[in-house]
Amino acid sequence: MRDDESGKRSKNGRSGSGSRAEARRATEEAILKAAETVFAEAGFGGATMQLIADMAGLPKANLHYYFATKEALYRRVVERIFTTWLEAADVFDEAVGPAEGIGAYIDAKMEISRSHPNGSKVWASEVMHGAPVIQDYLETTLRDWTEGRAKIIRRWIAQGQMADVDPHHLLYMLWATTQHYADFGHQIETLNGGKPLSDEQWEATKASVKGIVLRGIGVL
Amino acid sequence: MRDDESGKRSKNGRSGSGSRAEARRATEEAILKAAETVFAEAGFGGATMQLIADMAGLPKANLHYYFATKEALYRRVVERIFTTWLEAADVFDEAVGPAEGIGAYIDAKMEISRSHPNGSKVWASEVMHGAPVIQDYLETTLRDWTEGRAKIIRRWIAQGQMADVDPHHLLYMLWATTQHYADFGHQIETLNGGKPLSDEQWEATKASVKGIVLRGIGVL
DNA sequence: ACTCAACTTGACCATACGGTCAGAACAAGA
DNA sequence: TCTTGTTCTGACCGTATGGTCAAGTTGAGT
């Protein structure tokens, strides 16, 4: 059933040399990557530890050595995605005005949607199911982050740099629009003749999204 | 285990009178409604026929009498949602211009997001997993619908009634933004202090979304 | 009252899944 | 080389799930 049958890998087939701790990190990384893919494609309920193990290239029992339970593994995957998004939002703060800040934020989130679609899908799935494992993050980190950005937007509005729109709904629109290209990527690809968006199309997409949004908030 | 124990329902507990065919329709309706809820909350893989049966108020074996397999039941649920959306899009065609047409479309989709959040979630889940059961709909009905609306939008642009934006990306933005309030309703609720949006907040939301989008396409 | 197809249901089955375990293989320090 | 903790793995287990089945019950048509 396993996809390799060399039968004589020097150790575990990953990174021939390196310290013990490094090998462990590499294995965990491979598992997390495989898990993200499987969870994204099948959902939490549809994912199986066997499938994740196969994709990571190790026996199921070994997978359980690194991650005791399916829930624990899933939690780590979701936490990773959340962290990635938070880090990518720094562009927001460093901007001097809405055109630059929101434009750069759209660019950043769109890039993540293209390079990390599976993460976005896992997050969407988690939230759609009522956020059973990351509810605490929503109530603390995400809420703080959102309020912080809302304050910045309100300042821009007060300074007359953009139209008077509700900051929360603007943020929701940014999330919805950018993540849509990851979560509904399959639908978009189908409507694009069955082919993924080309590099040119992708640039046009970002420009189009930014154009509508920035014009929509009176910046342009 | 079953939640009722009356033990003496005259027939099946649903609609005491009515023809045979009508009773069948009522039972199927109850099953489909329960299934939509369970599929939305747990995903296809996490949903169980037992849970759906319990929620519909009949034994699992009886559920299999009406829907042979889990897949068949799921397919019917997804088809229903798709139909609902298509019907709600009529407002688009009847409009004389973009302000009215797109504004009304946003209103319609937002209302569906509020009244039918589970349907939206099931659809999102299906598409995110690669549309294993409704791929044909995407390639035929949805593609035709999309091209038709894109043509209308292009006409509006040609007539100088709105800004020159890519019709497809505009449609994606409409879908993303409106469905976000259903699919990510839990996240929005959490960021709203744990309370669902009130009627007033809901009206403000619709106005805000329409405001940004319509201004974004040069109509306002 | 009788018939027969439509419907209902508890009990049952095979399978697949998450998780366990005992022991083998390995590597690093003494 | 020996020891010891870490890592690896096949075999195994209990449970839950989708689905089946045979034996009922019901009710409309005659």
CATH code, domain carrying B114:
1.10.357.10
Residue B68 Cβ under 7 A from any strand D atom:
yes
Length of chain B: 220
In angstroms, the Cα distances linking A30 to A6, A159, B149 are 19, 48, 44
Residue B11 Cβ under 7 A from any strand C atom:
yes
Residue A64 lies in a domain: yes
Residue A192 lies in a domain: yes
Average pLDDT of the segment spanning B205-216: 98
Q: At what angle do helices A70-88 and A49-56 cross, to 10 degrees?
A: 60
Q: Are residues A162 and A211 in the same domain?
A: yes
Q: Are residues B189 and B85 in the same domain?
A: yes
Average pLDDT of the segment spanning A51-70: 98
Checking each nucleotide's C1' against the CA of B67, the nearest proves to be D19
* CB-based contact B165 A208, cutoff 8 Å: yes
* CB-based contact B184 A124, cutoff 8 Å: yes
Residue B26 Cβ under 7 A from any strand C atom:
no
Say if residues A73 and A31 touch (Cβ distance below 8 Å). yes
How confident is the model at residue A1, as a pLDDT? 30
User: What CATH number did the domain enclosing A55 receive?
Assistant: 1.10.10.60
Place of tokens 């490094």: A22
Q: Encoding tokens for residue A135?
A: 């509810």
Residue A22 Cβ under 7 A from any strand C atom:
no
Residue B9 lies in a domain: no
* CB-based contact B44 A43, cutoff 8 Å: yes
Q: Is the pLDDT of residue A124 over 60?
A: yes
Q: How far is the CA of B13 from the C1' of D26 (A)?
A: 14
At residue B92 the predicted structure's pLDDT band, cuts being 50, 70 and 90, is: confident
Residue A180 lies in a domain: yes
Host domain of residue B49: 20-68
Residue B13 lies in a domain: no
Number of domains in chain A: 2
Q: Is the pLDDT of residue B79 over 50?
A: yes
DSSP state of B198: P
Measure CB to CB from residue B43 to each of A125, A177, A204 and give the nearest one. Answer: A125
Q: Are residues B53 and B91 in the same domain?
A: no
Q: Which of A154-168, B89-103, B122-136, B167-181 has the lowest mean pLDDT?
A: B89-103
Residue A201 lies in a domain: yes
pLDDT tens-digit readout, B9-47: 333 433 344 677 888 999 999 999 999 999 999 999 999
Q: Are residues A164 and A208 in the same domain?
A: yes
* CB-based contact B190 A46, cutoff 8 Å: no
Q: Are residues B91 and B188 in the same domain?
A: yes
Q: Is the pLDDT of residue B2 over 80?
A: no
Q: Is the pLDDT of residue A88 over 90?
A: no
How confident is the model at residue B93, as a pLDDT? 86
Give residue B13's region: left, alpha or beta (phi > 0; psi -120 to 50): left
Q: Is the pLDDT of residue A3 over 90?
A: no
Question: What chain A residue is nearest to B45 in terms of C-alpha separation?
Answer: A46
Q: Encoding tokens for residue B51?
A: 């849970």
How confident is the model at residue B18, as a pLDDT? 66
Among B178, B157, B214, B158, smallest CA distance to A212 is for B214
Average pLDDT of the segment spanning A184-196: 98
Average pLDDT over chain A, rounded to an integer: 91
Q: Are residues B58 and B153 in the same domain?
A: no
Residue A207 lies in a domain: yes
At residue A92 the predicted structure's pLDDT band, cuts being 50, 70 and 90, is: confident
Average pLDDT over chain B, rounded to an integer: 91
In angstroms, the Cα distances linking B186 to B44, B56, B193, B208 are 19, 24, 11, 20
Q: Are residues A199 and A122 in the same domain?
A: yes
* Total Cβ atoms within 10 A of residue B2: 10
Establish, for the pair of chains A and B, how many residue pairs have beta carbons separated by less than 8 Å: 171
pLDDT tens-digit readout, A6-23: 323 333 434 334 678 888
Residue B129 lies in a domain: yes
Bigger pLDDT: A9 vs B133: B133
Q: Are residues A87 and A120 in the same domain?
A: yes
* Residues in chain B within 8 Å Cβ distance of A214: 216
* Residues in chain B within 8 Å Cβ distance of A138: 187, 190-191
Of A9, A36, A68, which residue is a domain's last? A68
Q: Is the pLDDT of residue A122 over 70?
A: yes
Place of tokens 């497809």: B168
* CB-based contact B129 A172, cutoff 8 Å: no
Checking each nucleotide's C1' against the CA of B73, the nearest proves to be D18
How confident is the model at residue A14, as a pLDDT? 40
Q: Encoding tokens for residue B216?
A: 């974004």
- The SS3 assignment for B17 reads coil
Q: Are residues A129 and A183 in the same domain?
A: yes
**CA distance linking residue A45 with residue A187, whole number of Å:** 22
Of A34, A68, A102, which residue is a domain's last? A68
Average pLDDT of the segment spanning A109-138: 96
pLDDT tens-digit readout, B188-198: 999 999 999 99
Backbone dihedral angles phi then psi of residue B105, each to the nearest 5 degrees: -65, -45
Average pLDDT of the segment spanning A48-72: 98
**CA distance linking residue B210 with residue B138, whole number of Å:** 27
Q: Residue B65: which H helix or E strand, with range?
A: helix B60-66
How confident is the model at residue B13, as a pLDDT? 39
Q: Are residues A145 and A93 in the same domain?
A: yes
Helices of type H across B67-198: 70-88, 90-94, 98-115, 117-128, 135-137, 143-158, 167-183, 185-191
Distance from CA of A30 to the nearest CA of B (A): 22
Cα torsion A51, B53, B119, B110: sign: negative
Check residues 45 to 84 of chain A and report those whose beta carbon is under 7 Å from nucleic acid strand D: 58-62, 64-66
Percent of residues, chain B, with pLDDT higher than 70: 92
Helices of type H across chain A: 20-46, 49-56, 60-66, 70-88, 90-94, 98-115, 117-128, 135-137, 143-158, 167-183, 185-191, 199-216
Cα angle value A167/A172/A178 (rounded, 5°): 125
DSSP assignment string, B156-175: HHHTTSS----HHHHHHHHH
* Residues in chain A within 8 Å Cβ distance of B145: none
How confident is the model at residue A94, as a pLDDT? 87
Tell me which nucleotides of strand D come within 7 A of a protein CB. 6-11, 16-22, 26-28
**CA distance linking residue B92 with residue B153, whole number of Å:** 10
How confident is the model at residue B16, as a pLDDT? 40
Q: Are residues B110 and B179 in the same domain?
A: yes
Residue B70 Cβ under 7 A from any strand D atom:
yes
Backbone dihedral angles phi then psi of residue A158, each to the nearest 5 degrees: -60, -35
Distance from CA of A12 to the nearest CA of B (A): 31
Of B45, B68, B91, which residue is a domain's last? B68
Burial A136-159 (b: 16+ CB within 10 A, else e): ebbeeebeebbeebbebbeebbee
Q: Are residues B58 and B101 in the same domain?
A: no
